[in-house]
Chain A
Amino acid sequence: DAGVTQSPTHLIKTRGQQVTLRCSPISGHKSVSWYQQVLGQGPQFIFQYYEKEERGRGNFPDRFSARQFPNYSSELNVNALLLGDSALYLCASSWSGGAAGNTIYFGEGSWLTVV
């Protein structure tokens, strides 16, 4: 079975532009979470979606938004990009919406560079 798949793997954007990152969870998983990992740090929680509803939001500005589709895939959108948004964006999937007790698997991430 395929793991968590993310696209694109690498992209370069200019300050002020908008970016959309995509994620397909493991087959059968209904929850998708997004994390931002800046070089040298641990992943930071951005959003969690379960059954197409937002279940959690981290401490990120409103420039960050996400959605989950009926097939449980997800998109993360970032508007008005800043240099500080340069990071590895990770998608994680799990079977259900509660973090407690659910095994969470990560994709390989999308590397975003803002210039």
Chain B
Amino acid sequence: GENVEQHPSTLSVQEGDSAVIKCTYSDSASNYFPWYKQELGKGPQLIIDIRSNVGEKKDQRIAVTLNKTAKHFSLHITETQPEDSAVYFCAAPYSSASKIIFGSGTRLSIRP
């Protein structure tokens, strides 16, 4: 079946510390894993994505890791800043139906 599980649902970290959000997926054929950031009242913004032919991808303070064997992928944010506060969604395609399945979201709060 199609399912993407995301943990934790809420995360509070001190400014400057790191934040990690984890997801698991069920469709073995999935080969593309985007992460979206959604601020209040706005649409989801793509912040990073990874394809199944690589295990890790970095973009400045953001990194994503992928373990295809375990069907896990994670978002890592280092040196967190107040503007990182938002809801983050992981997602994976459900290949047979050409659609993206989203996780339930993680509300990240950065404490000053």
Q: Which residues of A contact B (CB under 8 A)?
A: 4, 33, 40-45, 48, 50, 55-58, 88, 90, 92, 97-109
Interface of A is mostly: loop
Number of A-B contacts (CB under 8 A): 71
Q: Are B100 and A45 in contact (CB under 8 A)?
A: yes
Indicate whether A100 sits within 8 Å of B105 (C-beta atoms), given known contacts A55-B98, A56-B97, A56-B98: no
How far is the CB of A25 from the nearest CB of chain B, in Å?
A: 13
What residues of chain A lie closer than 8 Å to B34, measured between beta carbons? 103-104
What residues of chain B lie closer than 8 Å to A45, measured between beta carbons? 97, 99-101
Interface of B is mostly: strand
What would be 11 A-B contacts, judged by CB atoms less than 8 Å apart?
A33-B99, A41-B105, A42-B104, A43-B100, A43-B102, A45-B101, A99-B94, A101-B51, A104-B100, A107-B43, A108-B43
A100 to B98, CA, bound (A): 7
Q: Are A90 and B46 in contact (CB under 8 A)?
A: no
- B44 located at the interface, meaning its Cβ lies under 8 Å from any Cβ of chain A in the complex: yes
Q: B87-104 vs A: 1/0 string, CB under 8 Å?
A: 001010111011111111
Residues of B47-103 contacting chain A, CB below 8 A: 49, 51, 89, 91, 93-95, 97-103
Q: Are B49 and A109 in contact (CB under 8 A)?
A: no
Q: Are B99 and A48 in contact (CB under 8 A)?
A: yes
Indicate whether A58 sits within 8 Å of B99 (C-beta atoms), given known contacts A100-B93, A104-B46: yes
Residue of A42, A48, A103, A107 touching B89 (CB-CB under 8 A)? A42
Q: Are B99 and A99 in contact (CB under 8 A)?
A: yes
How far is the CB of B66 from the nearest CB of chain A, in Å?
A: 14
A47 to B22, CA, bound (A): 27
What residues of chain B lie closer than 8 Å to A101, measured between beta carbons? 31-32, 51
Residue of B45, B98, B104 touching A98 (CB-CB under 8 A)? B98
How far is the CB of B38 from the nearest CB of chain A, in Å?
A: 9
Which 3 pairs from chain A and chain B are nearest by CB? A42-B102, A99-B93, A45-B99
